[in-house]
Structure formats: structure tokens, C-alpha cells
């Protein structure tokens, strides 16, 4: 070999070594960065951990807070609002009744025909429409005129007009915001939630605003009941199954109500009802306890929200927020590594990832997680996400949803514990311990998160079994009531119009 050839060979070898060193260096760097992603995930898992011991602490905290909220006004973050609903529909109701539903994403008008016999399927008509966004922040007159007009159009479509009754119509108004009720048919708005902020409404009687708007439209319709959506759900649940004792909503927001003994409502001494009971609207979205597993993502989400330190439970559980918790985790991963090659600016936009799309990624069963890649591209404009990053994203969705579902389950058991239906003969409020055997107990449930996200409902059921134990869990039945809040409100209009 000549000198030149040797020289060339050495140069090539050196260059090859240099290239190899760069490649190895990059790999080491990339592995180190990937380790950071894995660490973020591990931290998230630890932060969101909900072993059964911790869930039981949440159960106890819920029961304790319920007591405190019933003992005095402002005694707890749980408002434990009186509803003045002391009788739930039982199937003997007759006639045609209406309901208007304002609360989440859709506005609904309903009509229910009752023949005095409990039927498994209730004959009803319903019309839904999205609430025009500008009305969510308009004036109360504009909002209520829109509602009244919708009812007017709905009524105008009834038959050819010849068989329309000229009698006054009775209507229930489902209004799923916190209201301090004065009676079953009146109540003042405490605060707006879920993105609504109509001016000059807080402190005003919601039913009166509606009644005035109905009059402006020339409608002879009487607002017979003003009802929180959870109470409507409970009413329909009870109509179908008298063992129903509580109702939960898990949709855009979350809330719960249940049937309480009147003597346990200590803050209202002297309150009497024929049944000796009353439905209490817990406003459980605002529940808080130091036992809740809170992460830095929750803290940031809360701090950046329009209502910091408010609705803490809701922000961990409900459909409005889950997608955004996931977005925050992915953003952090992306910032700490080259997981997605570059940091997409879209990752920084709050609420850009909606919970239904997060659920679709979580439930992607394709072998190459095609749906995950598609959604990451569609929502965040991140192209060609590598397989291992797709897997991590699915895992993040899993951790966030599992925690939400398990906490919701703990909340439910907290209610059961408060009313002595958790099989432990635990706190029964007022009259000491009951030793009665576990009775069949039905909880009505409604809302898109529970009914459309099957992994969420599976995790919720799994946690109920873990907390209660299989023997007792057998007696607790979770029943989905579709359109329950609206139909139930019409049923309450029937009960309370006479």
C-alpha cells in the first residue's frame, strides 16, 4: 500500500469514527431526553395515584363536608342547597307538561305526556339546539327572550292548532347553575359557571326572569318548578325506580343531589315537609379536600381559569377540563424533550384539546394508534408522531381519566355513607348509627362524560367495587337516565303545579 492510500484510509477511518461519535452522541442525548419524557409520565402517575386507601379518605371527607354544609350556611365549600322538592314523582302523574333546559352546551325544550301509570318508556318530544354563544354573555332580557321564543315556536308546532288546549300550560325550568331556592318555583342565581356570564343576573330570581319573558311573548305558561339538572335526573330516576336516592351529573361540569332527612338539615331549623325529607343540591363541583391528589397541572389550570379556587373537584373530574389537563402534560413533555421534534405553538392554546377527542385517542384500538396520530396532527398540527410518543400520549389520557373516574366514584360513596347506604352503618346524621342491612340503592347518572366515554364508566365501576367491596357493591346500582334532567323537570312541574 502506498503512502497516499494509507493516508486516505486513516482519514476515512477518522471521519467514520467522528460520524459514529456524533450519531452515538445524538442517541445518548435523545435517550436522555426520552428519559425526561418518561420521568414526566412517572411523576404524573405518582401525582394522580388513587389507591383505595386514599379513595376512602375522599369518601370520608365528602361525608364530613356534607355534614358541615348542612350544619350552617357557609360551613363548607359544599353549598348543600335546599331545593324544596320534598316529593319525587311516583308514576301517578297525569297530563301534558313542558320543560326548558338551560345549562350545558345545548338548550332543550321538552313536552311529556303522562297517563297516570308509570311506563317504562315515557312519551316525550324534545328539541335541542346549541346556545348561541353571544347569548352566554349578553343581557338577561336577550337570553330569556331567546328561551321564551324557542318555547313559543315549539308550542306553535303542536298539531294543526285545532286540538291545542287553551288552558294554561305548566312548565318546569331546568337551570343547572347554583341557585338559592326560596321555594320550589323560585330562586336567585348565586353565580354563573361553565362559561356563562350574563350581566345583572346574579342575585335575581331566575324563575321570575323567565316568567316575565314568557309574558312578553304572550304565552300563557306558568313556571311551576325551578329545578337544578341533578334534581331533574333524580326525579326521573325515582319515577322509574323508587329505590333511587341520589343523582349525579358528569358532563361538561359535574354535580350531585340526594334525598336527605329534614332533621339532618340543621341550618334550617323548623323546616317541615310532609314527607320528612328534602332533595339537597350539593353543588359538589366545589368540593375540596387535602386528600384529593393534586398535581402541578391542576394548580396551573386553576390559577389560569376565570374562577380560581373555585370548583376544585369539577376541575379534576368533568368533561370541560380533562382534555386540558392532558394538553398541559403533553406540552411539558414536548418542552422537556424532542418528543415531537418541535414544540407546536398549538400545544400552548388552552382548551384546544376537547375531551371527546382525548377520549378518542385513549380508546384508539388500532395496532399503530392511527387515531392518536391523526388527532395530534389535527388538533396540534404535529405531523408524523413516532409510535412510542403515541403510546405515551395514550398513557397520559389513561392516567387523567382514571383519576377522574375514581374520584367521582369516591364522591358517590361519600353520599351513600352520609345516608347510611354504604353498607358500613356509618354516619347517618342526627340519629346515631343504623344497623339496618344494606338495602338496594339506586344512583341515577347522566352526562356525556359518563355515557359516551366507556373507559371512564369502567374505571368508575371498578373503583366503586374496590371501595365498597363486591358484596356491598352488588346492592348499589348505577342507572343512566337519558334526557333525565329535562324529563324529570317536566315530572316535577306535574307534581308541583296543582
Nearer to ligand ADP, 149 or 452 (CB): 452
Exposed, middle or buried: residue 381 (CB in 10 Å: 0-12, 13-18, 19+)? exposed
- Count residues near ligand ADP (CB under 6 A): 14
172 binds ligand ADP (CB under 6 A): no
Nearest to 83 by CA among 280, 273, 243, 284: 280
- Beta carbons of 101 and 201 less than 8 angstroms apart: no
Stretch binding ligand ADP (CB under 6 A), from 125-133, 353-361, 369-377, 405-413:
353-361
**CB-nearest residue to Mg ion:** 104
One residue of 70, 82, 325, 359 binding ligand ADP per CB under 6 A = 359
- Beta carbons of 359 and 395 less than 8 angstroms apart: no
C-alpha to C-alpha distance for 193 and 188, rounded to whole angstroms: 14
Q: Build a one-symbol-per-residue string for 233-252: x at contacts with ligand ADP by CB under 6 A, - elsewhere.
A: ------------------xx
C-alpha to C-alpha distance for 479 and 436, rounded to whole angstroms: 24
Stretch binding ligand ADP (CB under 6 A), from 8-16, 101-109, 146-154, 275-283:
101-109
Q: Which residue has the cell 345545548?
A: 106
Least Å distance, CB 177 to Mg ion, is 11
Nearer to ligand ADP, 109 or 359 (CB): 359
Contacts (CB under 6 A) with ligand ADP, residues 9-38: none
C-alpha to C-alpha distance for 331 and 21, rounded to whole angstroms: 31
Nearest to 426 by CA among 33, 67, 7: 67
Q: In this structure, is the dihedral angle defined by the CA atoms of residues 351, 354, 359 and 360, taken in order, positive or negative? A: negative
Write out the three cell numbers for 389: 410518543
DSSP per-residue letters across 437-477: PPPPEEEEEE-HHHHH-HHHHHHHHHHHHHHH-HHHHTTEE
Contacts (CB under 5 A) with Mg ion, residues 68-127: 104
Nearer to Mg ion, 65 or 314 (CB): 314
488 binds ligand ADP (CB under 6 A): no
SS percent in the chain: helix, strand, coil, step 5: 50, 15, 35
Nearest to 93 by CA among 123, 57, 49: 123
Maximum Cα interatomic distance, the chain, rounded to a whole number of Å: 113
The CA dihedral of 474, 228, 281, 96, to the nearest 10 degrees, is: -70
The DSSP call for residue 266 is G
96 binds ligand ADP (CB under 6 A): no
Stretch binding ligand ADP (CB under 6 A), from 29-37, 256-264, 355-363, 409-417:
355-363
Of the residues 60, 76, 108, 485, which is catalytic? 108
Whether residue 229 lies in the annotated active site = yes
Of the residues 76, 140, 176, 185, which is catalytic? 176
251 binds Mg ion (CB under 5 A): yes
Nearest to 284 by CA among 245, 241, 253, 326: 253
Whether residue 328 lies in the annotated active site = no
One residue of 232, 237, 293, 319 binding ligand ADP per CB under 6 A = 319
Stretch binding Mg ion (CB under 5 A), from 215-223, 247-255, 300-308, 450-458:
247-255
453 binds ligand ADP (CB under 6 A): yes
Nearer to ligand ADP, 186 or 230 (CB): 230
Whether residue 165 lies in the annotated active site = no
Nearer to ligand ADP, 11 or 454 (CB): 454
Stretch binding Mg ion (CB under 5 A), from 143-151, 251-259, 368-376, 407-415:
251-259
Question: Which of the listed partners (Mg ion, ligand ADP, none) does 449 bind, with a CB threshold of 5 to 8 Å by partner kind?
Answer: ligand ADP
| Residues carrying an active site annotation | 108, 176, 229
Question: Can you give the binding site for ligand ADP, defined by CB under 6 A?
Answer: 103-105, 251-252, 319, 355-356, 359, 447-449, 452-453
Amino acid at each position: 500500500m502506498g503512502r497516499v492510500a494509507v493516508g486516505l484510509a486513516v482519514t476515512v477511518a477518522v471521519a467514520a469514527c467522528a460520524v459514529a461519535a456524533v450519531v452515538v452522541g445524538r442517541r445518548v442525548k435523545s435517550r436522555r431526553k426520552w428519559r425526561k419524557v418518561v420521568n414526566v409520565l412517572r411523576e404524573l402517575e405518582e401525582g394522580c395515584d388513587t389507591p383505595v386507601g386514599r379513595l376512602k379518605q375522599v369518601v370520608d371527607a365528602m361525608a364530613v363536608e356534607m355534614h358541615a354544609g348542612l350544619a350552617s350556611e357557609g360551613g363548607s365549600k359544599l353549598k348543600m342547597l335546599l331545593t324544596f322538592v320534598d316529593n319525587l314523582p311516583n308514576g301517578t302523574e297525569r297530563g301534558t307538561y313542558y320543560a326548558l333546559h338551560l345549562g350545558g352546551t345545548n338548550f332543550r325544550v321538552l313536552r311529556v305526556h303522562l297517563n297516570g301509570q308509570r311506563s317504562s318508556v315515557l312519551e316525550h318530544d324534545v328539541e335541542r339546539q346549541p346556545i348561541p354563544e353571544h347569548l352566554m354573555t349578553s343581557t338577561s332580557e336577550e337570553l330569556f327572550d331567546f328561551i321564551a321564543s324557542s318555547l313559543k315556536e315549539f308550542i306553535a308546532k303542536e298539531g294543526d292548532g285545532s286540538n291545542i288546549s287553551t288552558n294554561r300550560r305548566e312548565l318546569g325550568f331546568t337551570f343547572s347553575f347554583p341557585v338559592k331556592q326560596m321555594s320550589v318555583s323560585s330562586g336567585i342565581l348565586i353565580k354563573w359557571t361553565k362559561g356563562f356570564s350574563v350581566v345583572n343576573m346574579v342575585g335575581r330570581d331566575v324563575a321570575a326572569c323567565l316568567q316575565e319573558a314568557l309574558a312578553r311573548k304572550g304565552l300563557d305558561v306558568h313556571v311551576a318548578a325551578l329545578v337544578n339538572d341533578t334534581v331533574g335526573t333524580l326525579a326521573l330516576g325515582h319515577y322509574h325506580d323508587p329505590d333511587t336516592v341520589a343523582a349525579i351529573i358528569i358532563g361538561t361540569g359535574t354535580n350531585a343531589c340526594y334525598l336527605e332527612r329534614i332533621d339532618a338539615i340543621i341550618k334550617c331549623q323548623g323546616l317541615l315537609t310532609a314527607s320528612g325529607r328534602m332533595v339537597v343540591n350539593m353543588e359538589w363541583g366545589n368540593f375540596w379536600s387535602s386528600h384529593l391528589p393534586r398535581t402541578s397541572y391542576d394548580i396551573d389550570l386553576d390559577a389560569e381559569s376565570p374562577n380560581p379556587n373555585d370548583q376544585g373537584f369539577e376541575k379534576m373530574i368533568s368533561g370541560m377540563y380533562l382534555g386540558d389537563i392532558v394538553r398541559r402534560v403533553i406540552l411539558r413533555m414536548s418542552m422537556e424533550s424532542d418528543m415531537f421534534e418541535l414544540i407546536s405553538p398549538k400545544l400552548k392554546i388552552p382548551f384546544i384539546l376537547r375531551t371527546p377527542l382525548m377520549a378518542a385517542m385513549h380508546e384508539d384500538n388500532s395496532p399503530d394508534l392511527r387515531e392518536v396520530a391523526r388527532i395530534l396532527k389535527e388538533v396540534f398540527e404535529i405531523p408524523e408522531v413516532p409510535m412510542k410518543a403515541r403510546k405515551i400520549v395514550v398513557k397520559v389520557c389513561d392516567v387523567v381519566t382514571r383519576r377522574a373516574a375514581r374520584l367521582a366514584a369516591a364522591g358517590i360513596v361519600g353520599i351513600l355513607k352520609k345516608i347510611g347506604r354504604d353498607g358500613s352503618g356509618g354516619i347517618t346524621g342526627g340519629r346515631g348509627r343504623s344497623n339496618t342491612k344494606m338495602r338496594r340503592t339506586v344512583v341515577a347518572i347522566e352526562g356525556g362524560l359518563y355515557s359516551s366515554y366507556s373507559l371512564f364508566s369502567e374505571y368508575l365501576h371498578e373503583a366503586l367495587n374496590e371501595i365498597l367491596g363486591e358484596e356491598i357493591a352488588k346492592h348499589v346500582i348505577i342507572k343512566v337516565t337519558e334526557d333525565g334532567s329535562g324529563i324529570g323537570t317536566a315530572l316535577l312541574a306535574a307534581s308541583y303545579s296543582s
